[in-house]
Amino acid sequence: MQEEEQVPWKIASHSGWFKWNLGELWQYKGLLNSFVRRDLIANYQQTVLGPLWIFLQPALTTLVYWIIFSKIAKVSTEAIPPLLFYLPGVIVWSYFSDCLNGSMYTFLHNAALFGKIYFPRLIVPLSNIASHSIRMGVQLLFFLLLYYYYYFTSDIVNPNLYVLLLPLLMLLAALFSLGAGLIISVVTAKYRDLDYTLQFLLRLFMFATPVVYPAAIVPPKYEFIFWLNPLTPVIETFRAAFFSHKPIHFDYLFISVVTVFVILCTGLALFKKRELKIMDII
Which pLDDT value is given to residue 29? 82
CA 39 to chain centroid, in Å, comes to: 16
Q: How far apart are CA 212 and CA 223, in angstroms?
A: 17
- DSSP letter at 161 equals G
Which pLDDT value is given to residue 18? 58
Q: How far apart are CA 149 and CA 20, in angstroms?
A: 47
Residue 227's SS3 state is helix
Positive or negative: CA dihedral 201, 235, 230, 181: positive
Residue 158's SS3 state is strand
Which pLDDT value is given to residue 9? 47
What is the 3-state composition of the chain as percent helix, strand, coil, each rounded to the nearest 5? 70, 0, 25
pLDDT of the chain along its 282 residues, tens only?
A: 444 445 444 444 455 555 666 677 777 788 888 888 887 777 766 665 667 777 888 889 999 999 999 889 888 888 888 999 999 999 999 999 999 998 888 777 776 777 677 777 888 899 999 999 999 999 999 999 999 998 888 777 888 889 999 999 999 999 999 999 999 988 887 777 677 788 888 989 999 999 999 998 999 999 999 999 999 999 999 999 998 777 889 999 999 999 999 999 999 988 887 766 666 555
Which residues, including other chains, have CB under 8 Å from residue 78's CB and lie 6 or more apart?
85, 214, 216, 243, 245, 246
Q: How many residues are given for the chain?
A: 282
Which of 278, 215, 280, 202 is closest to 248 using CA atoms?
215
Inter-residue contact 33 to 134 (CB < 8 Å):
no
Distances (CA, A) of 127 to 99, 120, 148, 260: 10, 12, 32, 19
Q: Where are the domains of the chain?
A: 50-281
